[in-house]
Amino acid sequence: MSEQQFANMLGLAKRAGALVTGHDACLAQVRAGKAALALVARDTGANAMKKYHDKCKHYKVPLIEVLDKISLGQAVGKPHSAIVVVTESGFAKRIRQLAGENAGGDAQ
């Protein structure tokens, strides 16, 4: 699958209300147990990346590093985005499949 199909699926999840953007909102969803999948831009800073990995590991939320901040943001209708959280399991499953295909099996 192409990166475009991956971005399209993120946009569809956003329009369906199954995707949350923004640092604080995303971490709140993870803490509340409502996150099915976290996606972090590959070019996110080291401190933020560690924070996201640690939170997701603690709350047992799968995390995948994808795209860059600008591409991830554009896929969800923002200028840039370091993290997005998928809250619906069906979208999360399909996005993990697409991410794995795009990254050569990188999905955790």
Question: What is the domain-level CATH number for residue 51?
Answer: 3.30.1330.30
Whole-structure pTM value: 0.88
Cα–Cα distance for residue pair 13/86, rounded to 1 Å: 8
Amino acid at 22: G
Residue 107 lies in a domain: no
Residue 63 lies in a domain: yes
Cβ neighbourhood burial of 2 (10 Å; 0-12, 13-18, 19+)? exposed
Residue 9 lies in a domain: yes
Cα–Cα distance for residue pair 52/38, rounded to 1 Å: 8
Residue 11 lies in a domain: yes
DSSP helix/strand/coil, 64: strand
Residue 49 lies in a domain: yes
Residue 68 lies in a domain: yes
pLDDT of residue 102: 58
Q: State the residue for tokens 């569809």.
A: 12
Domain count, the chain: 1
Taking CA atoms, 33 is separated from 9, 71, 73, in Å, by 22, 27, 23
Residue 48 lies in a domain: yes
Cα–Cα distance for residue pair 99/90, rounded to 1 Å: 14
Q: Mean pLDDT in runs of 10 for the chain (108 residues)?
A: 84 94 95 96 95 96 93 91 95 90 47
Residue 36 lies in a domain: yes
pLDDT of residue 106: 42
pLDDT of residue 4: 87
Contact in structure between 28 and 5 (CB atoms under 8 Å): no
